[in-house]
Structure 1
Amino acid sequence: MRIHLWLWLSLGLGCASARALHPGQVLGADGAAIPGARITVVPRAPSWDVRTDAPVAITASGPEGRFEVASLPPGEYGLSAVTPGGVLIVGESLQVKEGQPVKPLAIREGRDTLGLLEGTVVDEAGVPVPGAKLRIIRQGMPFDDVALMEASPEGRFQVRSGGGAHSVVASAPGFSPVMQRVARTGEPVTVRLERAADETMYRAAVTWMKETGVPLKSVEAGQGLEDLAPLKQVLKDTRVVALGEATHGTREFFQLKHCLLEFLVTELGFTVFALEENFAEGLSFNEYLLEGRGDPKQLLRGSAWDTEELLSLLQWMRRYNEEPAHPKKLKFYGVDMQFSPEAVARVNAYLAKVDAAHGGHVQELLAWLALPKSGFSRLPVERQKEVAARLDLLAERFEAERARYVRQSSEAEWAVARRNVRVLRQFVGKVLQEEEELRDRAMAENLLWILEHEGPDTRAVLWAHNGHVQRGPGEWRDRPMGRHLADALGKSLYVFGMAFHKGEFLAFNMDAQPPPGRKGRVAFSVPPEPEDTLDAALAATGWPLLALDLRALPRRGPAYEWWRRSRRAHDIGFIYSDGGYPSLGQIHALALYDGLLFVERTTAARLNPR
């Protein structure tokens, strides 16, 4: 049944700050009243944490579908309803302004085909948890749509909702709340709750960290690497060391990665640095490292990594390569496959060299991929699919003409040009949404190609966000890059997650109308997090800088019981908000990482001067 939820929230009751109730009514498409609908009112504010904070109001429609919500303070609110038939309806946000009457609001069901979200809430033994509290979340930017409901006595839930990505947050007395991502509607999910850890487990976990953790003296490069020496035994058999980060704009994270790269290069013979940067753009950085070609400041310009810390790292790598005593030179690679006019330019240049006639035939094809950043995404789907098919044909030609192309260039040049064709195809596949989480699979594929291209003894340092490098499924990704790499590399992959307790970081301000001086990439800060978070537990060691080998944790006892449970921890990407944005994500550190690097207090990365 198509449902309309009509809310009349003024009806002559005056300003929003009055003490009156806001009445509303739930009606069907035919105008019939819908009693028994569950109405949820939540703040539409980035600082509101859907995992833990309480909604503003929960009520139900009574006879004739009518309900009342207590007077609301000024602000923006989201309203949703779950009908007795199990349909989730989300409508326009409610604006409450001081001194102004609240206008009537109609929340109408969209035209999207409704998908079925269903599943069961169970405990760690797989036993259903009756009556668990549920938050059904339809993910959005900058605000999520949220509706509340309860699981059945058998622990089951079922609701129909419109298009888009969804998650389910479940909670019950004695258990820690958990968020479960719904990969696709129509497939039942199991939300597994964990018994909350007790004080004995917490104390044992902190004691274990103090006994086995490696306190670090500094994140500044050039201060010596002696404090990292205990990690040599930990990392001696690894081929790829992945360095995550809880934000993309923390100075100390970048500096610590610089120190670790120096350590891995000088002590363990690592020669490849791979960054969450486009593959083709990475080739220009590599030319600077190997030949001194180009200005690293210009190469960084416009990049998400345009910071003093990355510039310092590049300059150190170049100095290392200039030293005659270092016959094995450091290489720079990007593993990403986003919009890349540089990849188009390099494929065109290569074809002009080895197959000029065919290069002329494909110039129009490649031109579609060099449109301004959102241009290709706005093309008709039929044209996008045509580009995909012709890229497949170009890849086939590269294979068929390999011997001729190599004679006119070299094996290495052919391989790099062929990879540029591949990353262009990856980009088109992402635009066409050919598969879920294609970007992470593609980044893993590109890193594995780099290892093969550089030779069997190559060892690489990978730099990306925590959410990309993690070994297992996380809150927002089922198959991150690290999971693909773990399948291919096993124990020879070592993943460091990075965490912090409080401090500053750089991020793009997502506010629609930021105040003067707060537009673009600016500094934000977050306070210390609650005691039940992973970050607070790491801070309880008393060490401002810490490296922790999670592989060394005994797999029994109270410390293990604490660590094996999921915890909230800082999880911030490229964006944030002056109004505050949920900075905590639910992670299972023991399943996602092999080790942790911790900074108690952070500062914002420093942008290179323009």
Structure 2
Amino acid sequence: MLVQRLGAPSDFDPLLERVRDARVVMIGESTHGSYDYYRLREQLTRRLIAECGFSFVAVEGDWPDCDRVHRSVTAAPGGAPDPQTALEHFERWPTWMWANAEVARFCRWLRAWNLEQPEGGRAGFHGLDVYSLWESMQAIFDYLGEEDPTSLEAAQDAYRCFEPYGKRVEEYGAASRFVSARCEEEVVRLLARTREQAMSDGPDRFSAWQNAEVVAGAERYYRAMVAGGPDSWNIRDTHMQDTLDRLLQRYGPDARGIVWAHNTHVGDARATDMAADGMVNIGQLARERHGDDAVALIGFGTYRGTVIAAPRWGSPSEAMVVPPAREGSVERRLHELMPERAVLVFGGDDQPDWVTETADHRAIGVVYDPSFESWGNYVPTRLGERYDALIWCDETTALHPLAVPAVPGEMETYPAGV
């Protein structure tokens, strides 16, 4: 194991040397609301793009919202001159995950960097998640109305199937448990029509295909969610990994991708208690599909600080105090052993016991109650198997959300809010 104190972007050199040849680099976070995570992740991502030629960033966000950001950062026709304008259109709660000053700064840098590159070599920004059923449906209508009116019927059939449930699509999931009528056939027909020509007609048709994949994934997700258990989680993470693989294919045989998502998605589920519960995640799926040598998984951890989160699902966000990590946790051990900021690169024969043994590892979602620290908010983890590297911040501060009004989202994700 290698430990490097962090102070400047150049201190990422040992980590960069480890991951520079990977096809996929996934960079996690143990909260969705820590400034330090976003800032350090940005520094590492800049170097991966500028020095190693990575092709795109794919985040735990909705495809239509992120597509507006993509158009801005690549200076595509119709894209906003300032990426913050696109980020301010993120309306689905929790908006602060991507509509924040830290992401805006990165996207401004990415646009400036891209403007110095040929159009075919510009790095993209994409969403991996499955939630945007209605927004994706509208995007399909907009595209087909202009480019492929003959396929509108399939989209209209799918829309009419969901329409009785309004925008509370979880009601569709509940109803599908008790009646035989489901929207699967309509969605499959829509998906088939958009998939047929997606790879042969440029980025707009690819985006329409991806929106159809979101509609198909959302239909499966909401049916599974009302039943509880791990199925909805697995559908969601499999959809995200499938989206990542489509992006790699779209960008070409030499494409390389960077993923931003929570540790719970990025760190290999097989090195946690998630495996015993029948859950998979994108870190595990990427290793299985592309091979361990082609995938680098990087986690984050902190001992204490402040974080942006919400006390209840759908409620306004606020800055909360993250108390010192509990006894026996990964974070307590790193607090005792490590500098204030460091990067730990795992591997080799000299790994200490605390890297290979199981210990609790903090995981804070968009919903957070610090009083649960004595029994919740942690995932049992074998650190050196879950990640290839971990970025350590002994104390973190809350990030800076943009002033964006949020609309209600879907039912709470399983497990809570990650």
Pair in the same fold by TM > 0.5: yes
Q: Distance in 2 between matches of 1:291 and 1:399?
A: 26
Q: Does residue 1:499 correspond to 2:301, yes or no? A: yes
Tell me what 1:217 maps to.
Answer: 7
Q: Distance in 1 between matches of 2:27 and 2:192?
A: 35
Tell me what 1:467 maps to.
Answer: 264
In the alignment, is the contact (CA less than 8 A) between 1:243 and 1:464 conserved in 2?
yes
Q: Does residue 1:529 correspond to 2:325, yes or no? A: yes
Cα distance, 1:530 vs. partner? Answer: 3.9
Q: Identity of aligned pairs, percent?
A: 21
Cα distance, 1:577 vs. partner? Answer: 2.4
In the alignment, is the contact (CA less than 8 A) between 2:88 and 2:402 conserved in 1?
no
Structure showing the higher strand proportion among its residues: 1
Tell me what 1:347 maps to.
Answer: 140
Cα distance, 1:604 vs. partner? Answer: 0.7
Give the 5 Å matches for 1:111-510.
212-218=2-8, 225-291=9-75, 293-294=79-80, 295-302=85-92, 303=95, 304-324=97-117, 328-360=121-153, 362-366=155-159, 369=162, 375-379=168-172, 380-381=175-176, 386-399=182-195, 402=197, 410-433=201-224, 435-436=231-232, 437-473=234-270, 474-476=272-274, 478-490=279-291, 491-510=293-312
Where 1:230 maps in the other structure, the secondary structure is helix
Q: Give per-residue Cα distances to partners, 1:557-585, cap 9 Å, x unaligned.
A: xx443321111121111101264453332
In the alignment, is the contact (CA less than 8 A) between 1:376 and 1:384 conserved in 2?
no
Q: Distance in 2 between matches of 1:371 and 1:246?
A: 38
Q: Give per-residue Cα distances to partners, 1:313-350, cap 9 Å, x unaligned.
A: 11111111122589721101111111332211221122
Q: Distance in 2 between matches of 1:372 and 1:607?
A: 32
Q: Distance in 2 between matches of 1:373 and 1:484?
A: 34
Q: Distance in 2 between matches of 1:543 and 1:216?
A: 8
Q: Give per-residue Cα distances to partners, 1:288-315, cap 9 Å, x unaligned.
A: 1112623234234543322111111111
Change (3 A) 1:284 1:576: same
Gaps of 5+ in 1: 1-207, 219-224, 513-518
Where 1:467 maps in the other structure, the secondary structure is helix
Where 2:310 maps in the other structure, the secondary structure is strand
Q: Distance in 2 between matches of 1:596 and 1:412?
A: 35
Cα distance, 1:415 vs. partner? Answer: 2.9
Residue identity matched to 1:267: E
Where 1:572 maps in the other structure, the secondary structure is coil
Change (3 A) 1:533 1:285: same
In the alignment, is the contact (CA less than 8 A) between 1:251 and 1:309 conserved in 2?
yes
Q: Distance in 1 between matches of 2:140 and 2:396?
A: 41
Greater C-alpha radius of gyration: 1
Q: Give per-residue Cα distances to partners, 1:107-146, cap 9 Å, x unaligned.
A: xxxxxxxxxxxxxxxxxxxxxxxxxxxxxxxxxxxxxxxx
Q: Does residue 1:554 correspond to 2:355, yes or no? A: no
In the alignment, is the contact (CA less than 8 A) between 1:472 and 1:591 conserved in 2?
no
Change (3 A) 1:480 1:540: same
Cα distance, 1:271 vs. partner? Answer: 2.2
Q: Does residue 1:591 correspond to 2:388, yes or no? A: no
In the alignment, is the contact (CA less than 8 A) between 1:272 and 1:332 conserved in 2?
yes
Residue identity matched to 1:439: R
Deviating beyond 6 angstroms after TM superposition, the runs of 4 or more aligned structure 1 residues are 370-373
Tell me what 1:192 maps to.
Answer: none
Q: Distance in 2 between matches of 1:383 and 1:419?
A: 29
Q: CA RMSD in A?
A: 2.7
Q: Distance in 1 between matches of 2:235 and 2:30?
A: 22
Q: Distance in 2 between matches of 1:383 and 1:356?
A: 32
Tell me what 2:356 maps to.
Answer: 564
Equivalenced residue count is: 379
Where 1:488 maps in the other structure, the secondary structure is helix
Change (3 A) 1:578 1:226: closer
Q: Distance in 2 between matches of 1:464 and 1:511?
A: 19
Q: Distance in 2 between matches of 1:267 and 1:384?
A: 54
In the alignment, is the contact (CA less than 8 A) between 1:320 and 1:326 conserved in 2?
no
In the alignment, is the contact (CA less than 8 A) between 1:288 and 1:296 conserved in 2?
yes
TM-score by length of structure 2 reads 0.83
Gaps of 5+ in 2: 226-230, 405-418
Tell me what 1:605 maps to.
Answer: 399
Q: Distance in 1 between matches of 2:184 and 2:194?
A: 15
More relative contact order, 1 or 2 (CA 8 Å, 6+ apart): 2
Where 1:503 maps in the other structure, the secondary structure is strand
TM-score by length of structure 1 reads 0.58
Cα distance, 1:391 vs. partner? Answer: 1.1
Cα distance, 1:396 vs. partner? Answer: 2.7
Where 2:183 maps in the other structure, the secondary structure is helix
Structure showing the higher helix proportion among its residues: 2
Q: Distance in 1 between matches of 2:18 and 2:261?
A: 21
In the alignment, is the contact (CA less than 8 A) between 2:69 and 2:87 conserved in 1?
no
Change (3 A) 1:261 1:575: same
Q: Give per-residue Cα distances to partners, 1:153-205, cap 9 Å, x unaligned.
A: xxxxxxxxxxxxxxxxxxxxxxxxxxxxxxxxxxxxxxxxxxxxxxxxxxxxx
Q: Give per-residue Cα distances to partners, 1:524-560, cap 9 Å, x unaligned.
A: 1122224522112222234111111112x416xxx44
Where 1:458 maps in the other structure, the secondary structure is coil
Change (3 A) 1:252 1:272: same
In the alignment, is the contact (CA less than 8 A) between 1:264 and 1:270 conserved in 2?
yes
Change (3 A) 1:444 1:373: farther
Tell me what 1:576 maps to.
Answer: 368
